[in-house]
Structure 1
Amino acid sequence: MEDLEAHREATSAPQQSGRMVVVVGPSGAGKDTLIGRAAQYFEGRTDVHFARRVITRGADAGGEDHISVSEGGFEAMDRAGSFAVSWTAHGLKYGIPAAVLQELSQGNIVIANGSRSVLDRFRAAFPRLTVINVTARPEVLAERLEARGRETRADILKRLERGSLIVDGDDDVVTIDNSGTVDEAAHQMIDTLETILRN
């Protein structure tokens, strides 16, 4: 009986011939900016889809263009199977809508803002996965984070010393150093996506 149920689940799940691209990196690395640049470049392309995350954060909070829901609303969506991947970080809940599975079943590529701490969940959900790891030199990250005014420079540097900018594992990983100009890093991001589209 269990084998039959497993077979039903396997045959009902859409086959993912496309590729999920998850963009990760520390705060201040510029993930949202690079994703935004890539979205502008590929605007109008039906084979490139940029996922809007569902987040328990106000719509007017700034940062990425996301779908804002309450905690209760998020939990109800999670129970209903509305997310391909979901996680909690920094007191907020994040979800990648299950609708991306349809895009992947059509052979398209999907780009989503993710988190290094839950890459195992992305691996489990998306067999064809590329990780774009956006980094920057610690002093550059510290300068950007200090400009936000939420922490002192000393606290920021201590936090950066504790964290690693490396993605471990056997994933297909592309690292983009965004210590220089945004144009340079955006060019690398777009080139990476173009390469995926050609393969």
Structure 2
Amino acid sequence: MMSTDPLDRLGTLFVVVGPSGAGKDSLISEARKTLAGNSRIGFVRRVITRPSDGVTEDHIAVTETQFRTMVEAGAFAVHWQAHGLNYGIPATTLDELAAGTSLIVNGSREHLAEFARTYDKLIVLHVTASPEIIALRLAARGRESAEDIMRRMARQTQDWQIGLQVETIDNSGDLHDAAHRFVNAIRTAQSEQTAPVAV
């Protein structure tokens, strides 16, 4: 007899987290290419109060006034503020997951508790890299001073993994290898999700 639990039919939300410079956007971009033909996996466009530059992530750019209006209208399932910017995850993601589509979204370690309260099936993809690699990548961006980079590197988020299913991907080396592990973690979870559950 197959399970009739509605949770078994829900898609999984894969929340990608990790420090700036670990390469989250690069891995998400590679996964987007690899999984392009999979209709059961989608990618979430975040709403951010930052202009789109066509280089970094493909987000929906809004003003702070527009963002506040969207919050008041219930447009977000989860939203937060970091580094002077506002970030929002569209409420439509709940409908997509309910329809059985799994989604990949760039999230926030500091706000994973809110993600966990909002989404019933959630897996955290934790992207890491060595401190030396992260420092080099941040410096190469040219957005922050050496002092800012040192402060960012010193910032730690404690105990965020408690009670969560976490898959860690080290992106210190070759991007292709890390992308393979990243996509494999998604595919493995997706296979487990779609497998019949006997009761």
How do 1:62-141 and structure 2 match up within 5 A? 62-141=55-134
Shift, 1:32, TM fit: 0.5
Give the alignment's Cα RMSD to 1 decimal. 1.9
Structure 1 residues 56 and 158: CA distance shift in structure 2, 3 A = closer
Structure 1 residues 112 and 33: CA distance shift in structure 2, 3 A = same
Q: Distance in 2 between matches of 1:161 and 1:119?
A: 20
Confirm or deny: 8 A CA contact 1:133 1:176 kept in the other structure. yes
Q: In the alignment, what sits opposite 1:3?
A: none
Structure 1 residues 71 and 164: CA distance shift in structure 2, 3 A = closer
One-letter identity of the residue aligned with 2:10: S
Deviation string for 1:23-74 (max 9, x for gaps)? 0011101101100110111113220010000011112273100001111111
Q: Distance in 2 between matches of 1:68 and 1:157?
A: 29
One-letter identity of the residue aligned with 1:127: D
Q: Distance in 2 between matches of 1:70 and 1:164?
A: 28
One-letter identity of the residue aligned with 1:109: S
Confirm or deny: 8 A CA contact 2:46 2:90 kept in the other structure. yes
Confirm or deny: 8 A CA contact 1:20 1:126 kept in the other structure. yes
Answer with 104-113 or 148-157: which moved more: 148-157
Confirm or deny: 8 A CA contact 1:84 1:96 kept in the other structure. yes
| TM-score (ref. length: structure 2) | 0.87
Q: Distance in 1 between matches of 2:49 and 2:10?
A: 31
One-letter identity of the residue aligned with 1:193: I
Shift, 1:167, TM fit: 4.2
Q: In the alignment, what sits opposite 1:21?
A: 14
Q: Distance in 1 between matches of 2:109 and 2:54?
A: 23
| TM-score (ref. length: structure 1) | 0.87
Q: In the alignment, what sits opposite 2:143?
A: 150
In structure 1, runs of 5+ residues without a counterpart are 1-13
SS at match of 2:88: strand
Q: In the alignment, what sits opposite 1:8?
A: none
In structure 2, runs of 5+ residues without a counterpart are 1-5, 193-199
Shift, 1:165, TM fit: 8.6
Count of aligned pairs: 186
Q: In the alignment, what sits opposite 1:9?
A: none
